[in-house]
Amino acid sequence: MAMVVFGLLGTVLDAGSRPERWRRWRPSVSLFQNEAREVARFELLVPDVKAPLVKTLLKDIALVSPETKVIVHELSLKNPWDFEEVYEALYDFSQVYKFQPSQEEYFLHITTGTHVAQICMFLLAEARYFPAKLLQTSPPKRVSNGEEPTSQGVVSEIDLDLSKYDRIAQRFAQTQMEATTFLKSGIKTRNQQFNELIAQLEKVAGATTSPVLLEGPSGSGKSKLARRLFELKKNRHQITGEFVEVNCATLKGINAMASLFGHKKGAFLGAPERSGLLASAHNGVLFLDEIASLGLDEQAMLLGALESGFFRPLGSDHEVQSEFQLIVGTHKDLLAEVAAGRFRQDLFVRINIWTYVLPSLRERLEDIEPNIDYELQKYSQETNSALRFNKEAKQAYLDFCLSEQALWSANFRDLSASVHRMATLAEKGRIRLDGVEHEIRRLIGLWHATVNNMAFDILSRYLSASSIEQLDLFEKYQLAGVLKQCIQEQSLSDAGRVLFSVSRLEKKTTNDADRISKYLAKYDLDWPLQPL
């Protein structure tokens, strides 16, 4: 990789004295007198690009290292000893510079310039605003007895209490706030639980590459948040690879193994060579949504890849290396999946380091209005139009969204699709009351059909078609709800604690398991439930 060095002009040391400048140690020139290091490009930061010293330094570097390209940048600094001024100037430079860490290796030269500038550069490297290593040059040591001078330098530990500097503290706070806003897609969420979750995720994203587990119902935003985490880490120069996403529920049989780990040509009938998703995510982020759907064999190989960084594609005799940040999503209770033997406990332990539960839309009712505004703004940008609600229409839509009628079974996917439909049908850039009323009827119909389908799906697993036909609609919904809860729990007692959470408080002694057992017996069902 090409070596790129950032350095400040040392107005005293880099100058030397004109007659003896080649006999004196000059920090910036000394960078290029070391044959062991070949600098491809030197990004020289100066207070005045027209200064005579700049021209002299460029000429001398060209003589010593003609293969090095030197680019001069002017930093507007009135006082190089003002810590806040120097820090802000270097920080602003880091934000506009186009880093390419996958192609270039960066170093910060911290010998030249004032002590203030060196400290600021050190801090910016530590915070990864400059994705660079520190490169320190120091003058030859004085020796006696006619010995050759040594090039061994001196390393000093720098400690700085940033809390003393209000403007710097404000810049850090502003950067952190911008990062959390970025993770929320710019939506000013009002839900305290979600805001706290995002604030911690922002810290985790900057501090570790350990796996992140996102739990939550379908449509709660797991996939979107995973991509935003990737983009945040990419902006901070923490990763150089790509975002690779797959829904594990779509991976079945040999296709699951081949898709994840790749395969050699001819590994199975008609198979071309394929690198696989893990290899594609090298130095990037791999998002495995619905990870509970992975088979046990794939889980075992994934665990091995996470622990060693290596895996073997199908049909290959050689291992492949891939280092990536893993983010996984699930709407299932992985602990329950482990207890049922459907998910490996060792893999669960490996990915259960940073776990976050995304609340459903029904749990974030205060965030419905800002999300409506966000979706409408996004649609307007995509269509290059200006769309708005009439006041009466927006209030009617909000009232419905917050009511018990609004099931939001697909969570934010439902809300996004709903706003998109109203915006598409809006006339002259306005969503009116009749458009809102039409959309409300559509949503109620969709949710009613969904509930019917879900209830029939659950009932048909345990009852014959003729038995289902004999049930009233009320009975179907009630029985389907009880069965769904029983399926999710490990025992009838656990299911009872949820189903009878209010009425059981009125009883001196509780036997939830017996209550559910008697209820199931009315339909010739027994625990554990046995599918047809």
Q: Are 328 and 214 a contacting pair, CB within 8 Å?
A: yes
* SS3 label, residue 26: coil
pLDDT of residue 152: 34
Quick one: 27 and 130 in the same domain? yes
**Full DSSP string of 66-135:** TT-EEEEEE---S-TT-HHHHHHHHHHHHHHS---TTTEEEEEE-SSS-HHHHHHHHHHHHTTSS-EEEE
On whether both 411 and 316 belong to a single domain, the answer is no
Helices (H), 184-292: 192-207, 222-235, 254-261, 277-280
Same domain, 346 and 405: no
Asked, for residue 397, whether it belongs to a domain, the answer is yes
Q: Note whether 531 and 524 are within 8 A (CB).
A: no
Whether residue 474 sits in one domain with residue 434: no
* Six token digits for residue 417: 């699709």
Residue 2 corresponds to which amino acid? A
Query: Would you say residue 458 lies in a domain?
Result: no
Cβ atoms within 10 Å of 494's Cβ, excluding its own: 16
Residues 262 and 411 in one domain: no
Note whether residue 11 is domain-resident.
yes
Q: Are residues 481 and 343 in the same domain?
A: no
**Domain count of the chain?**
4
| CATH classification at residue 411 | 1.10.8.60
Q: Cα–chain-centroid distance for residue 404?
A: 33
378 and 491 share a domain? no
Strand partners, 339: none
pLDDT at 104: 92
Is 339 domain-assigned? yes
Mark whether 445 and 376 lie in a shared domain: yes
Domain boundary (325, 357, 389) is at 357
In a domain, 40, yes or no: yes
Range of the domain at 431: 361-453
254 and 350 fall within a common domain: yes
For residue 503, being part of any structural domain is answered with yes
Please indicate, yes or no, whether residues 365 and 341 belong to a single structural domain of this protein: no
d(CA 195, CA 297): 37
Q: Is residue 479 part of a domain?
A: yes
SS3 for 220?
Answer: coil
Q: pLDDT below 70 — which residues of the chain?
A: 16-20, 35, 113, 140-166, 168-169, 266-271, 504-505, 507-509
List pLDDT tens digits, range 418-458: 999 999 999 989 999 999 999 999 999 988 877 777 778 88
pLDDT at 432: 95
Q: 377 with 348, same domain?
A: no
> Do 369 and 490 fall into the same domain?
no
CATH (domain of 107): 3.40.50.10770
- The CATH number of whichever domain residue 189 belongs to comes to 3.40.50.300
pLDDT of residue 157: 34
Tokens encoding 233: 């880490």
Q: Evaluate whether residue 496 is within a structural domain.
A: yes
Last residue of a domain, one of 312, 334, 357: 357
Residue where a domain terminates, one of 124, 140, 156: 140
